[in-house]
Structures are given as structure tokens and as C-alpha cells.
Amino acid sequence: MSRLRISAISFLNTAPLMWDFENGDSEERLRQHFEISYTIPSRCAEQLNEGSADIGIIPVAAYTVIHDLVIVPDVAIAAKNKVRSILLVSKVAIDKIRSVATDDSSRTSAALVEIYLRKFVGLDPGFTRQKPSLKEMLQWHDAALLIGDPALQARTDGYFVYDLAEEWKRWTGRPFVFAFWAVRKAALEGRAAEPNIAEVFQQSRDNGLKHIPEIAAAWTQKLGLSAKLIAEYLTENVDYSLDADNLEGLRLFYKYGLECGVFARVPDLAFLDQPRLATRF
């Protein structure tokens, strides 16, 4: 049987999720069942939608427009409070923003900034998708939305900076979920229960969180950031669970997205359900 095709993201915040797929004996075993490619968040969603990938770490906003997906339970990229990698950087105070350039690699963060400004701040600015270059984004816009590694690397001195996960928590009292693993139902048809996909992805996450020092050391040269800052980001800012509190925040995001006209529809959350295996990778 053919391998399941995984579309993954080449951002720092996904590194713990990919540990078993990239390291040691687990990597060799998993590559018998999975084929991996790396791209940007929005492209992961496109690949699932067009059927060129079977499993993807997708922005949660993409779940509202792609049909027949199931979510891998208990694994996500979320934030209980401040996240540091989803930033609204502005030349003017928040109530003066009239135009926003949004990073074209994300859908969820673009939806979040629209909901934040419209529902909580009371603004209705214009939005333009652009490549994530802060200087170019702010050349013709009042504010810029940066996500992921460019947000961590951005020089924001002299600007108004709003951490959107922190702002969401301040307004709603809930965590924010940015992405989760999703699987095309069609890709599961006729497949045996082994390997147990949910267990594979949960265990890779668990093992990745046990190796944060190694991940931080590997990424410090890539990003030009200290290993200490990277380790703190991965352990204190990003939450990799999809627990009950995170799910409440996710459902609230979908609710507000419908109210603000950001989403046309929101399907029920459907989770991958596979029998547990007696053995584990």
C-alpha cells in the first residue's frame, strides 16, 4: 500500500511535532508508512484540498473551507497566553489603524487579526496579503501582521506591537489554537489500523518536547536567535495540546469568525478515531 503523504511546515514551532519523523530509528520506521514534504501553512491546506497530500498541519481557519477532514486528537499549535510569533506591528496606535498588510503564508492569523480589529477594537480597515517583509509591508500600510519565524526575528523597536494570542486571551479569557494535524477521510479508506496515526503524531510530539535543547541548538543558527530564547519560546509560549480549554478557545474563534463574516461556514469538529494498537513505535 502506498505511503501516506504528509504536508508539514518549515517553521520553528513545528519542530517538536516532527521529532520522530526526522530523528533516529523512529525516522526509518515511519518513512515506511509516511512521505513528508515541507511548505508554508497556507500551502499545506491547499495540498490537502487538492488531494496532493493526505495529512497536513493546517491553519485552523482552513478547516472551514476544506471538506471531509478529520483532526488528529490532542495535538495542536496553540498558545495559552502570549505567543511572540503572531504579531500585529503598527506605525500608529491601535485605534488609528486603517490598513493592514497580512503575511500571505497564513490564513488563521489573518482571520484572527480581522476578528480582533472588527469585534474587539471596533475598526474595519482594509487588508492586503503580502510577503512577510516588515519594511515593505509598512511602506504603504499602517500595520503589518507577521507570523512564525519572521515575527520572532522582526526588529520592532519604535513601533506599536500587539501579540495577538495575548490580545485574544485578554478579550476572551481563552487560549488560541493556530493549527492542528488534519487527515483526508478518503486517504484512510481501505487502510489497516496499523500504524495508528493518532498515536504516531502524539508520540512524535511527546518525544520532541523531551528534546527541546537539541531543537534549540539546531535552530539557533537558522534564525540568528539564542538557544535560550528558542527554548523559552517552545516551552513557555507555544502549547502543543488540544485540551478542553484549547478546544473552547477554538470553538469561540469559529463562532466569532461567523459573526464577523470571516468564515462562511464552520463544520463540526470531527476527530480521527482508530483502534489503539498493542505495540507502539
Whole-model pTM? 0.93
Q: How many of the other CB atoms lie within 10 Å of CB of 215?
A: 22
Mean pLDDT over residues 247-257, rounded?
Answer: 97
Residue 281 pLDDT = 28
Residue 168 is which amino acid?
A: W
What is the reported pLDDT for 43?
86
* Mean pLDDT, range 212-224, rounded to an integer: 96
Residue 279: exposure state from Cβ atoms within 10 A (0-12, 13-18, ≥19)? exposed
pLDDT at 199 over 90: yes
Indicate if the pLDDT at residue 217 is higher than 60.
yes
> Is 155's pLDDT higher than 80?
yes
Say what the pLDDT of residue 29 is: 85
Confidence of residue 273 (pLDDT cuts 50, 70, 90): confident
Residue 70 in this model has a pLDDT that exceeds 50: yes
Q: Which residue has the higher pLDDT, 26 or 124?
A: 124
- Taking alpha carbons only, the member of 81, 75, 55, 82 closest to residue 66 is 55
86-172 belongs to which homologous superfamily?
Periplasmic binding protein-like II (3.40.190.10)
Percent of the chain scoring above 90 in pLDDT: 84
Confidence band of 63 (pLDDT split at 50, 70, 90): very high
8-state DSSP, 195: S
Residue 189 or 122, more confident: 122
Reading the block at residue 125, the C-alpha cell is 480597515
Q: With bands split at pLDDT 50, 70 and 90, how would you rate the model's confidence at 125?
A: very high
Please give the average per-residue pLDDT across 65-88, as a whole number: 96
Average predicted confidence (pLDDT) for the chain: 92
